[in-house]
A and B are shown apart, each in its own frame.
Chain A
């Protein structure tokens, strides 16, 4: 059974870069069967899809975040990562990594809270 676990700093200063890693176990991110995605949820608000990466390294991002987001793969360590630049308080949220088929997100990490504050 696949498991995903987010990790990274819980506090980031405004204007700096948010960096998170998702460690995958029970599946290979290079298998070619799934997309690897990031989703976030501000406190008390809904889910927002951030972007996805495929085994080939091809990426697609939410248009509203595209200019600030980079998702990458490290197949040797079976992890994928998120970088979000020029963060503001509006980027404070619980960040989830998830495995996705074309049509759904079938496995999720537990989520990690990232707070943007000086």
Chain B
């Protein structure tokens, strides 16, 4: 299985909004509403921030939102804050009953 495709890096200024894309195929992202997103700060374990395309776990800021169109999912962070600077990974369930991650995106808050 091939990794989902994410941009290597994105950046934005405090208060702005950014969007990170995650492109797969009809066998993963496009075939299921089972896309999740994870935030990882340096030296820490990943943290679930979005699941089932657009649902937020309890305690996750509503500045984080998710969407999907066809084979591409997206994570939007609004009102950027310095603490949002981290790596972000998408993940999808697949038609082989496996899971596949994206390559990760480094978010820099300018």
A108 contact set on B, CB distance < 8 A? 45-47
- Is B98's CB under 8 angstroms from A63's CB? yes
Closest Cβ–Cβ distance, residue A71 to chain B (whole Å): 13
A24 to B54, CA, bound (A): 28
Find out whether the CB atom of B104 lies under 8 angstroms from the CB atom of A106: no
Q: Does A26 contact B (CB under 8 A)?
A: no
Whether the Cβ atoms of B51 and A103 lie closer than 8 Å is yes
How far apart sit A31 and B34, CA to CA, in the bound complex (Å)? 23
- Total number of residue pairs linking A and B with CB closer than 8 Å: 62
A64 and chain B: residue at smallest CB distance: B1
Asked if A46 contacts B57 (CB within 8 A), the reply is no
Contact A102 B93 (CB under 8 A): yes
Known A-B contacts A103-B93, A104-B36, A109-B45; the reply to A48 vs B101 at CB < 8 A is: yes
Q: Kindly state the separation between the CA atoms of A108 and B57 in the bound complex, as whole angstroms.
A: 14
Interface residues on A, range: 20 to 34
Q: Is A62 an interface residue (CB 8 A)?
A: yes
Known pairs A102-B93, A105-B91; A46 contacts B101 (CB<8 A): yes
**Is there an interface contact between A111 and B57, defined as CB atoms closer than 8 Å?**
no
In the complex, B64 has a CB within 8 A of chain A: no
Closest partner residue, chain B, to A66 (CB atom)? B98
Is the CB–CB distance between A60 and B34 below 8 Å?
A: no
A19, chain B: closest CB distance, angstroms: 21
Interface residues of A in 50-73 (CB under 8 A from B): 52, 60-64
Does A110 count as interface, using CB distance less than 8 angstroms?
yes
Interface residues of A in 81-110 (CB under 8 A from B): 96, 100-106, 108-110
- Please give the residue numbers on chain A whose beta carbons come within 8 Å of chain B beta carbons, in ascending order: 37, 39, 45-49, 52, 60-64, 96, 100-106, 108-111
**Additional 9 contacts, C-beta under 8 A, given A47-B89, A102-B93, A103-B52:** A45-B104, A96-B46, A102-B34, A103-B93, A105-B48, A105-B91, A106-B57, A108-B45, A108-B46
